[in-house]
Amino acid sequence: MNRVGIILIVIAGLVGAGLFALSAWKIPAPTVAVNKVVPNDQLPN
């Protein structure tokens, strides 16, 4: 197998491992509400 094929397989493996890690990671929901006042002159008409 040539070098390009090996690099593609390694990249695909890293992407797959990253997707698995993100899907298994229990990220807590935000607990603080964010309220931001936007002035009327910044809103589109």
pTM for this prediction = 0.56
DSSP string, 1-45: --HHHHHHHHHHHHHHHHHHHHHH--PPPP-S-------GGGS--
Can you tell me the mean pLDDT for 34-39? 88
What's the farthest any 2 CA atoms get from each other in the chain?
A: 61
Q: Has residue 1 got a pLDDT over 80?
A: no
45 confidence band (pLDDT: 50, 70, 90) = low
5-19 per-position pLDDT tens digit: 999 999 999 999 999
Q: For 24, left (φ over 0), alpha (ψ -120 to 50), or beta?
A: alpha
Question: Alpha-carbon Rg of the chain, whole angstroms?
Answer: 22
